[in-house]
Homo-oligomer: A and B are copies of this chain.
């Protein structure tokens, strides 16, 4: 293509990779494909009637406010609601600690802008959330990674990784995207202690923490860090004096189409976040913030989360049972206690990117090849499966199809092994 102007050659998108999530969203639009690829909540659990009543109320009672510019920090009643809601999950903050963002993707971008200089290393779990890698490519981040197992990040491997001098650690302790695993309490405590010891801050990303279907809620890292601080340095500032930035979202509990997330940070750090956000988009939509507040207030968010838990727990169970039934024995996978995803490891010989083409074209079933979630380019034999979007009968059928794809591929590989063994 002719590009007559020099600026086109100088565009700063190197390293931002191909638009993987976006391309995947397109796959899910084909009607005959059963997709486990997206990270989409089930639209049938959206509280549509509540949204209708809320929009109507906001535009009837407060139109001049809802449609006008507002402050960068966000709609105060919504920030207060978030503070109350988080307290039930062990996070004790004030409204001055909370900044509303345009989805938690913007929180990640903002954190990148605040903290990352070109070449800075970030310590992540391996695999880790693709959206964070995409956000931070713009800041020319590099990575040092620590593998996960069923209990989350393997803290016994952390000491060595920390020697690489990361700027911060990026951790998803609950029902990690993509792994589906949850970090044990023991490891959480170890992680927070080591962060303290090495003076490395943590970015705690918690989009799914409320969506637990089995087991007991575990204290967030930010809580453990504050307890830790209070015990060895009673500086009188109470919570959120610590070393951790926490981020979450309404995308999985209310609706992602609103684009509403938030950051929780110590007051002095939050002031810097506000400054950054002002240059990014002035503020998040006043209208969607006010609508979300009306939908969530008076305990309605809690009630709605209960409904989502029931629906998704069933789908998780259906998927796990189907995998037990249809997947070949060479494949292993995680058994999540919550969230939207599970993770599968295939034999090393299988490249899931190639497998996806076959699965979509010949069997009308889709997943995400795991490689994209590995900052180090490994993980070619892994895949992420979403269990929130498809209905139970579709999950059953999709896993049956995927099992067939896997068995076929493994059968074709046998002769090669046999040959190699000769």
The residues of A with any CB-CB pair to B shorter than 8 Å are: 1-8, 10-13, 16, 19, 21-22, 25-26, 38-41, 43-44, 46, 48, 51-52, 55-56, 59-60, 63-72, 102-103, 105-106, 109, 113-117, 131, 134-138, 167-168, 199, 201, 229, 233, 235, 237, 241-243, 251, 255-259, 266, 268-269, 272, 274-276, 278-288, 291
What 4 new A-B contacts, CB under 8 Å, besides A5-B243, A11-B114, A105-B282? A10-B167, A55-B59, A69-B257, A258-B285
Instruction: Tell me which residues across on chain B come within 8 A of A251, comparing CB atoms.
Output: 69
Our pick among B106, B201, B279 for the contact of A7 (Cβ within 8 Å) is B201
Q: A4-B241, A7-B201, A280-B109 are known contacts. Are A67 and B48 too (CB-CB below 8 A)?
A: yes
Our pick among B26, B65, B114, B242 for the contact of A13 (Cβ within 8 Å) is B114
Q: How far is the CA of A117 from the CA of B13 in the complex (A)?
A: 12
* Beta-carbon contact of A276 and B138 below 8 Å: yes
Instruction: Tell me which residues across on chain B come within 8 A of A44, comparing CB atoms.
Output: 64
Instruction: Tell me which residues across on chain B come within 8 A of A113, comparing CB atoms.
Output: 12, 138
* Beta-carbon contact of A51 and B43 below 8 Å: no
* Beta-carbon contact of A138 and B279 below 8 Å: yes
Q: How far is the CA of A167 from the CA of B229 in the complex (A)?
A: 47
Instruction: Tell me which residues across on chain B come within 8 A of A38, comparing CB atoms.
Output: 69
Within the complex, the shortest CB–CB distance from A65 to chain B, in Å, comes to 8
Within the complex, the shortest CB–CB distance from A194 to chain B, in Å, comes to 14
Q: In the A-B complex, list the 4 residue pairs whose CB atoms are closest, starting with the nearest.
A: A43-B64, A67-B255, A257-B286, A55-B55
* Beta-carbon contact of A258 and B67 below 8 Å: yes
Q: How far is the CA of A38 from the CA of B282 in the complex (A)?
A: 13
Within the complex, the shortest CB–CB distance from A137 to chain B, in Å, comes to 7
Q: How far is the CA of A113 from the CA of B113 in the complex (A)?
A: 11
Residue of B nearest to A47 (CB): B67
* Beta-carbon contact of B259 and A281 below 8 Å: yes
Instruction: Tell me which residues across on chain B come within 8 A of A167, comparing CB atoms.
Output: 7, 10
* Beta-carbon contact of B40 and A69 below 8 Å: yes
Within the complex, the shortest CB–CB distance from A389 to chain B, in Å, comes to 10
* Beta-carbon contact of B281 and A19 below 8 Å: no
Q: How far is the CA of A63 from the CA of B276 in the complex (A)?
A: 33
Q: A52-B56, A63-B46, A284-B259 are known contacts. Are A278 and B21 too (CB-CB below 8 A)?
A: yes
Q: How far is the CA of A417 from the CA of B391 in the complex (A)?
A: 82
Q: How far is the CA of A26 from the CA of B72 in the complex (A)?
A: 11
* Beta-carbon contact of A281 and B105 below 8 Å: yes
Q: How far is the CA of A67 from the CA of B250 in the complex (A)?
A: 11
Specify which of A5, A65, A105, A138 lies most central, judged by the most chain B CB atoms within 10 Å of its CB.
A5
Instruction: Tell me which residues across on chain B come within 8 A of A131, comparing CB atoms.
Output: 279, 282
Can you name 30 A-B pairs with beta carbons within 8 Å?
A2-B235, A4-B233, A4-B235, A4-B242, A7-B168, A8-B268, A10-B115, A11-B269, A12-B113, A12-B116, A13-B114, A13-B272, A19-B274, A25-B71, A43-B68, A46-B64, A51-B59, A51-B63, A51-B67, A52-B59, A67-B257, A69-B257, A102-B259, A105-B281, A109-B279, A134-B278, A138-B276, A138-B279, A255-B287, A259-B281
